[in-house]
Amino acid sequence: MLGISRPFPLDAAPLSPHIPVMTQKIALITGASRGLGAALAEALCQTHHIVAVARTTGALEEVDDRIQAAGGQATLAPMDITNADAMAQLCRSVYDRWGTVDIWAHTAIHAAPLSPAQFIDAKDWEKSVDCNVTATGRLITYVAPLLGETGTALFFDDPRGGEKFFGAYGATKAAQIALARSWAAESEKTGPKVRVLEPRPLATANRARFFPGEDRSALIHPKDEAERLLGLL
């Protein structure tokens, strides 16, 4: 039965075209296990069926519990967005089951440890490029057909490019947003709608890693910011 909360079966056979798809709107959230991604999933679950993508199964299940408690439904996809084959099969299966995606919110990010540029760890650099740039570019090609002319893609800027010690994160995040802005300009007249939003400083684990001594009482809870950002749409 479709629409129930469950892990996404990568080996699931495509649905027969004679089986009707869900009429509920679909929100695909990449990076849905925590922070802003989880908050967006919870904020959208009243009006959308959530397809929640993240690497951490346990954290996804916690998000699913909160979605169910709010009366919503989710399909969990515990996978790495840098796995091209997994993402291709996920998007094909979303198409086979539902035919479309109404909202794609891309919050997945690799936040490399702060480091002087000359001492950036090679593995952290590779992970930053793979997750923040390469996977984003690949996902745009996979998800764009699902969004069609009327869907909405959301990206979230965090302008750290050029700041000291933010070399790996700042450079790759800036590249990701540059790619999103190009897509936004290219699709302005044809769709889908592509929006780049800039969240306010959030009380998240990533920010705590970047600013460990910061006064967190002044930070915004991801749930409140998710509601504000969705209100801008």
pLDDT in tens, 126-170: 999 999 999 999 999 999 999 999 999 999 999 999 999 999 999
Q: What is the mean pLDDT of residues 114-124?
A: 97
**Percent of the chain predicted with pLDDT > 70:** 90
The predicted pLDDT at position 3 comes to 34
Bridge-based pairing state of the strands 193-197 and 152-156 = parallel
Q: Say what the pTM is.
A: 0.90
pLDDT band at residue 23, thresholds of 50, 70 and 90? low
The predicted pLDDT at position 181 comes to 98
Residue type, 212: P
Provide the token pair at 157: 């800027």
Which of 16 and 161 is assigned the larger pLDDT? Answer: 161
pLDDT band at residue 20, thresholds of 50, 70 and 90? very low
The predicted pLDDT at position 24 comes to 81
Residue boundaries of the structural domains of the chain: 22-231
SS (H, E, C) the chain: CCCCCEECCCCCCCCCCCCCCCCCEEEEEECCCCHHHHHHHHHHCCCEEEEEEECCHHHHHHHHHHHHHCCCCEEEEECCCCCHHHHHHHHHHHHHHHCCCCEEEECCCCCCCCECHHHCCHHHHHHHHHHHHHHHHHHHHHHHHHHCCCCEEEEECCCCCCCCCEHHHHHHHHHHHHHHHHHHHHCCCCCCEEEEECCCCECCHHHHHHCCCCCHHHCECHHHHHHHHHHCC
The predicted pLDDT at position 21 comes to 47
Q: Give me the chain's average pLDDT, please.
A: 91
Angle at 199 between CA 190 and CA 228, to 5 degrees: 80
Read off the pLDDT of residues 38-97 as tens digits, 9 standing for 90 and up: 999 999 999 999 999 999 999 999 999 999 999 999 999 999 999 999 999 999 999 999
Q: What is the mean pLDDT of residues 5-33?
A: 59
The CATH class of the 22-231 domain is alpha beta
Provide the token pair at 179: 């790619």
Compute CA distances 145 → 122, 141, 151, 155, whole Å: 34, 8, 10, 17
**Percent of the chain predicted with pLDDT > 90:** 88
pLDDT band at residue 5, thresholds of 50, 70 and 90? very low
Provide the token pair at 77: 């996809």
Signed CA dihedral, 26, 32, 37, 38: sign only: positive
Position 4 pLDDT exceeds 60: no
